[in-house]
Amino acid sequence: MKTIFRTQDLSCPSCIAKIETGLTRLPGVKTAEVRFNSGRIIVEHDDTVTTITELQKTIRELGYEATAAPL
């Protein structure tokens, strides 16, 4: 499953690395890509292992607010 989040909290390249690393450490997450200019976080994951709610919680715990966006 592919889930897209939107955030406006990105301010530097280290933000990108922090989010991508934090998300890919979750079980069931295959890839996590942050697009700085658009504020999009694209996560490919197994939704039977890691839910959208868990992804959003992890992003929040990393210090960023994000909302799920339609594909």
Domain that holds residue 50: 2-69
How many Å apart are CA 32 and CA 24, to the nearest integer? Answer: 6
State what percent of residues in the chain have pLDDT above 70: 99
Q: What are phi and psi of 6, to 5 degrees?
A: -120, 140
Q: What is the pLDDT, as a whole number, of residue 71?
A: 67
pLDDT of 19 above 80: yes
pLDDT of residue 69: 87
Calculate mean pLDDT across residues 37-49.
96
Residue 60 belongs to a domain with what CATH number? 3.30.70.100
* Arithmetic mean of pLDDT, 60-70: 92
Give the count of domains, the chain. 1
The CA distance from 36 to 9, in Å, is: 10
